[in-house]
Amino acid sequence: MRAAVYSRFGPPEVLTLRQVPKPEPRDDEVLIRVRAMTVTSAECAMRRGEPLWGRVVLGFRRPRRRMRTLGTELAGEIERVGAKVTRFRPGDEVFAFTGFRLGGNAEYVCLPQRASLAPKPVNLGFEEAAAAVDGASTALYFLRRSGLRRGHKVLVYGASGSIGTYAVQLAKHFGAHVTAVCGPANAAFVTGLGADAVVDYTKEDYGGRGELYDIVFDTLGKSSFSQARPALTRDGRYASTTGLRSTFLSLATAMSRGRKVVTGMSIDKNDSLPFLKNLIEAEELRVVIDRRYTFDQLAEAHRYVETGHKRGNVVVTIPW
Ligand SMILES: NC(=O)c1ccc[n+]([C@@H]2O[C@H](COP(=O)([O-])OP(=O)(O)OC[C@H]3O[C@@H](n4cnc5c(N)ncnc54)[C@H](OP(=O)(O)O)[C@@H]3O)[C@@H](O)[C@H]2O)c1
């Protein structure tokens, strides 16, 4: 089978499509024929070997052998199942998150039946299903951890990105009033997703508007707790998807009264995928795809994602 392999950190050109052995499912694993995958900002950073502290996991001088094929979210068809698999059958169409195993940039992937894996929404093709995994479940994870409730005022920073487009829609679904922070070209777009108010990050600092929010959700890690603080209610939450600093601040604020920093990693998506599937099938959640590439254009997809200006998700398909 073909897989995208990289053996040194660097620009998109380090990714090469190679023939590698097709994996064999163990007793508790399923073998998925991958039909679509995404390219995320997080994977572009891994390819570059960033942030530097991330190399504790990725490998110090070069990527660890078992992490040389990137790819975290995918959709496809189950081709075979191991002897002890009870949750899935050959022919099932699934969407999945590989997590720290990575390996999704390949024609076949093996995953344990208890991994972040679920039947894909019936009303989505493989491309949309692949793009409905990480951004959506990460948005859900942070909104839940921030204690989102009906009637809350929520500000989503980076509303036009993958996590952001889902965060706007999910916060609206849960009955919040949503302010979206995005660039001028995306104002009408995020309003179409349900945002009640829009702040243009190129013109205005959301922290200085005199509005108060129960949750400021920084989906990109480009804002900060000090920027958010004046815009938070007395026991408001600043949720951030990235950074060691956020981890430190979440520990520090957990021990004090008042405003808190929420951070973490959305890794186990076993519960959230069926929840998202139901929302998508009820047409309560839309998947936004910016661009589509084929597998042999993977490096080109990385180049585009790396601009930092994708809208929603970028999908790579494997034609069969
Ligand atoms: N903690 C976790 O579990 C977890 C899980 C997944 C991802 N992550 C992290 O989450 C981050 C975001 O991922 P993502 O995939 O959602 O991002 P993304 O889709 O790559 O974000 C792209 C969007 O960001 C907007 N943008 C760029 N600069 C901006 C700024 N200064 N202010 C407001 N918007 C700006 C762009 O709009 P314009 O074109 O208008 O600039 C673009 O639409 C990554 O760093 C990733 O590592 C964390």
- Residue whose pair of structure tokens reads 């809350």 in the numeric block: 152
Return the best residue to mutate from 116, 142, 163 for the ligand 1 pocket (most ligand atoms within 8 A of CB): 163
Q: 289 has which bridge partners? A: 313
Query: Is residue 209 a contact partner of residue 179, using CB atoms and an 8 Å limit?
Result: no
Q: Nearest 5 degrees, angle CA 235-CA 237-CA 239?
A: 170
Mean pLDDT of the residues in the chain: 97
pLDDT of residue 243: 86
Query: Is residue 173 a contact partner of residue 149, using CB atoms and an 8 Å limit?
Result: no
Q: What is the CA(29)–ligand 1 centre distance, in A?
A: 32
In this structure, which amino acid lies at residue 81? V
Counting residues of the chain whose pLDDT is more than 90, the rounded percentage is 97
For residue 170, the SS3 value is helix
pLDDT of residue 311: 98
CA–CA dist 109, 111 (Å, integer): 7
- Residue 185 backbone phi and psi in degrees, to 5: -75, -15
Return the best residue to mutate from 146, 169, 241, 289 for the ligand 1 pocket (most ligand atoms within 8 A of CB): 241
Closest ligand 1 atom to residue 312 Cα is 19
CA–CA dist 288, 35 (Å, integer): 18
For residue 292, pLDDT beyond 90: yes
If you average pLDDT over residues 57-75, what whole number do you get?
96
For residue 256, pLDDT beyond 90: no
pLDDT digits (tens, 9 = 90+) for 217-246: 999 999 999 999 999 999 999 999 998 899
Return the best residue to mutate from 138, 160, 220, 309 for the ligand 1 pocket (most ligand atoms within 8 A of CB): 220
Ligand 1 atom 12: the closest Cα is on which residue? 220
Query: Is residue 230 a contact partner of residue 212, using CB atoms and an 8 Å limit?
Result: no
Domains and CATH numbers, the chain: 2-133+269-317 (3.90.180.10), 134-262 (3.40.50.720)
Whole-model pTM: value is: 0.97
Q: What is the CA(39)–ligand 1 centre distance, in A?
A: 13
Grade residue 320 by pLDDT with cuts at 50, 70 and 90: confident
pLDDT of residue 215: 98
CA–CA dist 34, 50 (Å, integer): 27
pLDDT of residue 307: 97
Q: What is the CA(181)–ligand 1 centre distance, in A?
A: 11
If you average pLDDT over residues 48-68, what whole number do you get?
95
pLDDT of residue 173: 98
CB within 6 Å of ligand 1 — which residues?
40-42, 134-135, 138, 157-158, 160-164, 181-183, 185-186, 201, 219-222, 241-242, 265-266, 308-311
